[in-house]
Structure 1
Amino acid sequence: MTTAAPPRRRPGILPHLGAIAQLAALGIAGVVAFTILLTLLSVGVGLIPVLGIGLLFLVAFVYVLWATAWVEYERVDGLYGYGLPLLRLRPSAGPGFGGWLRTLWRQFVDGTMWRGVSSAAISTILGWFVLPLLAGLVSGVGLLFAPLTGVARLPWTDLQIDTTWSVLVGILSILASLALLFGIAVLHATLTRAILVPSQEAALAAEARDAGERARAAGEQRAGAVRASEVERTRLERDLHDGVQPRLVSVGMTLGLAQQKIDSDPAAAKALIDEAHTSTKAAITELRQLARGIHASVLDDRGLDAALSALAGRSPVPVVLDVRLDGRCSRTAEAALYFAIAESITNAAKHSRASECRVTVRRRTDTESGAVTLWARVEDNGVGGARVIAGGGLDGIVNRIVAAGGTSRLDSPTGGPTALEVSVPCAS
């Protein structure tokens, strides 16, 4: 969440001294960094006609730009303690190569990144002035000892002066150099604050945008929950209508025939009762499977690992499980991930003609934000071509994951393989 701009305060003497030292280093390192950037840009543009090789250099140019901005944000925040937001790479704008290209473009036009690059460029230019001023300061100190050494040169020149005046010139040189150095340090602090620290109005606008994004995300989550429940209800109605209901009707008719024959033909009646008994057990099995599709009790009792092991054991397609979990997550998150994996395995068995399915599950922790997510990848070696169709199984997966506040990504080219990745916040 974006916070308001920190209160304005004057940096103390130590940050100014640190700024002088850093600017002196940037006077050299900054030139190297921007030389690399200009080289990548020029080579990239020049080599675009050569089989598009230049595009690789342009991609590197964007990421080096981001790295330059990141270093600048960290440097300034560590120096002045402005409380700047952490600069992050743009999140993925969608699956596949097209999504990566959109993400790259959004990163290139990211205003926050360009502010960091601008601040680095200005700091490098200021560093060019700091270097000769430091040389002048050292020369001024040397002039204080000129009467002892017998060597007196004017700062920034090779002109010799009388040692009688060397102490006075040295003092003036030191004072002028210090004044200019601290002036540049103050200018650096002012410019970096103006460029990198958002104004109160900008912070409030960013806060409003964040609130709007959270509201849209919550709306999408509610819509996903409603859609997931509709898809699940439709599936249950279809399974009951097409499976259990006809079987129960058949049981009733068979028992009716047995009742009619029980006096006249007991043997035939017994056979009909045996048939009805077999159909009843089959109906019970189907009802148990439907109930398992609504709620997996083993998931609550023994956790996601055990539930997935039971799921793999019932699968008609051989399933290779790779589950590494170091703790439990919320019931909502585990249920969303479980049913997404279950539906993926079902699709692999029904439609993909796969001979093997591999399931990988991890519990991941973001090192920066500390957020914990459940991540899973389900991949089969089938014929591919899977698509999200309204009311279909994949539609149910997507909406169930969205309802839990997560994301999903389907990659299923014609000819296979099919891979589905889902990620759900652990505390959802």
Structure 2
Amino acid sequence: MTTASPPRGRVGLLTHVGALAQLAAIGVAGSVVFTILATLLAAGLGLLLVLGIGFLFLVAFLYLLWGTAWVEYERVEGLYGYGLPALTLRRSGVPGFKGWLRTLWRQFTDGPMWRGVASAAIATVIGMLVLPLLGGLVVSIGLLFAPLRAGDTVRIPGIGIDMPAGGGVAAGIIGILVCAAVLIGFVLLHAVLTRAILVPSREAQLAEQARTAGAQRAGAVRASEVERTRIERDLHDGVQPRLVSVGMTLGLAQQKIDSDPAAAKALLDEAHTSTKAAITELRQLARGIHASVLDDRGLDAALSALAARSHVPVQLDVRLDGRCSATAEAAVYFAIAESLTNAAKHSRATACRVVVRRRDDGTLWARVEDNGVGGARVLPGGGLDGITNRVLAAGGTTRLDSPAGGPTSLEVSVPCAS
């Protein structure tokens, strides 16, 4: 497995000027944000025992923390182009109130979020120091032109000291040099600190790649086990008994072909009907293993055929500009197929909606929603378990939302080049 070294990012005069402008803005906005955060935290802890009202403040505090970190990641990435991954909300994957509490805890213990908050706090402190330096730079520039609008003496703003005009010019030059040097130092310090805090080290990248590869390998193994179990169950419960019945019927027809040709003919007709049904079941089973139309005509055509066979009316909305990898398309196709099967078998749904998009970040995204009774769960060995592991093996993620009473929605995101 080969890995790339951490990106160097963009450098240059425009980048440093942009950083300086952002630091000045963050010095004002960041102080307001962190004041609100401190207020929410204090109110949450102080009112926690008062009818649980404080808990709402703490939840608001947590999500404002995440929002602050998200803005910081986007700001630094837009400024320096380090190649930072987008910050996403952590989810427990467990439905209900208990799952929501787990989600809050996972978000609270999310390391990338706290690194983003730390970077924003440091940028706020640097920005608060930059603001007076920018003011001093403007004053120093003004002193250079003071002799043009003053007499023999000039007064230095903010200090109130009068000095000869020539001394004012000298003070302006010194002020410009000092303020510019300190501002450049702060800009360079900001670049170094944001890189150290937000950009993962090579060791961290290797560890994350190893963890991801391990998770994908485990998902692939689990998905293959679930698929094998499903095939064995379908063969044992469906096709095998039907073929045994065909064999017994043909045996009875063979016994009666001389003594009772009419009965033998009826048995042969029955065997013929059962054979065609078995062929149909085998064809459906093979389609569940591999959809040939997916390879031949792409995901849009394969989903159209899938929707046409569905027992529940399906509203299909597919907008794709080109093909993705076979692994990505297969993962999304079978996730949608299993969702439609579940909607027909278990949810008592009367309508389904399927939306598929190829997003700008290079992911293949799909959402399946039905108006059934809800209550869907990911059970070991079940169809949703197979979906989750198959998508995980392709490097993607799934999100199931199925409250009691419905509706049920499943979102799938898979890297297009997986």
In structure 2, the residue matched to 1:297 is 292
* Deviation per residue, 1:223-277 (Å, 9 max, x gap): 2212212211111111111111111111111111111111211111111111111
CA distance in 1 between partners of 2:214 and 2:395 (Å): 11
Contact 2:27 2:131 in 1 (8 A): no
What CA RMSD, in Å, does the superposition of the two structures yield over aligned residues? 3.4
Paired position in structure 1 for 2:252? 257
User: Does structure 2 conserve the Cα–Cα contact (< 8 Å) formed by 1:410 and 1:420?
Assistant: yes
Output one character per residue of 1:38-82: Cα deviation in whole Å (capped at 9) or x when no partner.
Answer: 4423542465438456457635742563377458747974xxxxx
Matches within 5 A, 1:102-141: 102-103=106-107, 106=110, 110-132=114-136, 134-141=138-145
Once the two structures are TM-superposed, the CA of residue 100 in structure 1 deviates from its matched residue by 5.4
Partners of 1:386 and 1:295 lie apart in 2 by: 25
Aligned to 2:382: 392
CA gap 1:189/1:100 in 2 versus in 1, 3 angstroms:
same
Tell me the amino acid that sits aligned with residue 168 of structure 2: G
Structure 1 pair 208/38, CA: closer, same or farther in 2 (3 Å)?
Answer: closer
For 1:80, the equivalent position in structure 2 comes to: none
Which protein has the larger Cα radius of gyration, Structure 1 or Structure 2?
1
Partner of 2:243: 248
Cα distance in 2, alignment partners of residues 257 and 302 from structure 1: 45
Q: Among residues 211, 219, 243, which one is paired with 1:216 in the alignment?
A: 211
Name the residue aligned to 1:337: 332
Structure 2: gaps of 5 or more residues: none
Q: CA deviation at 1:193?
A: 4.6
User: How does 1:11-410 map onto structure 2 within 5 Å?
Assistant: 18=17, 22=20, 29-45=25-41, 47-48=43-44, 49=47, 51-52=53-54, 54-55=57-58, 58=61, 61-62=64-65, 65-66=68-69, 69=72, 73=76, 77=80, 84=82, 86=84, 88-95=86-93, 97-98=100-101, 101=104, 102-103=106-107, 106=110, 110-132=114-136, 134-142=138-146, 144-145=147-148, 149-150=150-151, 152-156=153-157, 157-158=159-160, 166-189=164-187, 191-198=189-196, 206-366=201-361, 372-410=362-400
Question: Residue in 1 aligned with 2:404?
Answer: 414
Q: Tell me if structure 2 keeps the 8 A contact 1:89–1:107.
A: no
Given that residues 72 and 119 in structure 1 are in contact (C-alpha distance below 8 angstroms), is that contact kept between their aligned partners in structure 2? no
The 8 Å contact of residues 335 and 387 in structure 2, kept in 1 or not, is answered as yes
* Residue 230 to residue 42, structure 1, CA distance change in 2 (3 Å): closer
Query: Cα gap change, 1:74/1:388 in structure 2, threshold over 3 Å: closer, same or farther?
Result: closer
The equivalent of 1:369 in structure 2 is none
Contact 1:43 1:54 in 2 (8 A): no
Which segment drifts farther, 411-420 or 61-70?
61-70
Aligned partners of 2:341, 2:155: CA distance in 1, in Å?
86
Q: CA 1:345–1:128 in 2, change beyond 3 Å: closer, same or farther? A: same
Residues 266 and 273 (structure 1 numbering): CA distance in 2 closer, same or farther, change over 3 Å?
same
In the alignment, the residues of structure 2 paired with residue 15 and residue 286 of structure 1 have an alpha-carbon distance, to the nearest angstrom, of 63
Q: Take 2:79 and 2:304, find their aligned partners in 1: how far apart are those partners?
A: 51
Query: Cα deviations across residues 263-320 of structure 1 (Å, max 9, x unaligned)?
Result: 2111111111111111111111111111111111111222211111111111222222
How far apart are 1:155 and its partner, in Å? Answer: 1.7
Quickly say closer, same or farther: Cα 1:329–1:255, change in 2 above 3 A: same
Per-residue CA distance 1:124-156 (angstroms, 9 max, x = gap): 2143144245324423531x347xx53623323
Give 5+ residue unaligned stretches, structure 1: 78-82, 367-371
CA separation of 1:170/1:214 partners in 2, compared to 1, >3 Å: closer, same or farther?
same
Amino acid of the structure 2 residue aligned with 1:41: L
Matched letter for residue 217 of structure 1: T
Alignment length (residue pairs): 401
Contact 1:385 1:414 in 2 (8 A): yes
SS in 2 for 1:153: strand
Residue 92 of structure 1, CA deviation: 3.2
Distance in 1 separating the partners of 2:153 and 2:359: 66
Q: Residues 118 and 257 (structure 1 numbering): CA distance in 2 closer, same or farther, change over 3 Å?
A: same
Does structure 2 conserve the Cα–Cα contact (< 8 Å) formed by 1:343 and 1:397?
yes
